[in-house]
Amino acid sequence: EEFSHTEKEANILIYHSQVIKRRISNNIGNHWQLKLNNKIIYDLSIKTGAIDTDCNLSGFKVEKLYIESGASNINLVLPQYDSKIIIDTGVSNIDIAIPKNVGATVNIDSGIAIKDLDDFIKRNGTYISYNYNESEYKTEIEIECGVSNIDINYTDIP
Residue 141: strand, helix, or coil: strand
Instruction: Determine, yes or no, domain membership for 6.
Output: no
Question: Would residue 109 count as lying in a domain?
Answer: yes
pLDDT of residue 85: 98
Residues 97/155, Cβ–Cβ less than 8 Å = yes
pLDDT of the residue at 48: 83
Does residue 7 lie within any of the structural domains? no
Give me the number of domains the chain comprises. Answer: 1
Answer whether residue 137 is part of any domain.
yes
139 domain residue, yes or no: yes
The whole domain housing 82 covers 39-155
In-domain check, residue 101: yes
Q: What stretches in the chain show pLDDT beneath 70?
A: 1-5, 7-31
Confidence (pTM)? 0.84
Residue 11: what pLDDT?
A: 66
The verdict on residue 85 lying in a domain is yes
| pLDDT recorded at residue 13 | 63
Task: Convert 41-71 into a string of H (helix), E (strand) and C (coil).
Answer: EEEEEEEEEEEEEEEECCCCEEEEEEEEEEE
Instruction: Provide the b/e sequence for 47-67 (b: ≥16 CB within 10 Å).
Output: ebeebeeebebbebbbeebeb
Tell whether 13 is covered by a domain.
no
Q: What pLDDT shows up at residue 37?
A: 84
- Can you give the pLDDT at residue 126? 97
138: phi then psi, degrees, rounded to nearest 5: -130, 145
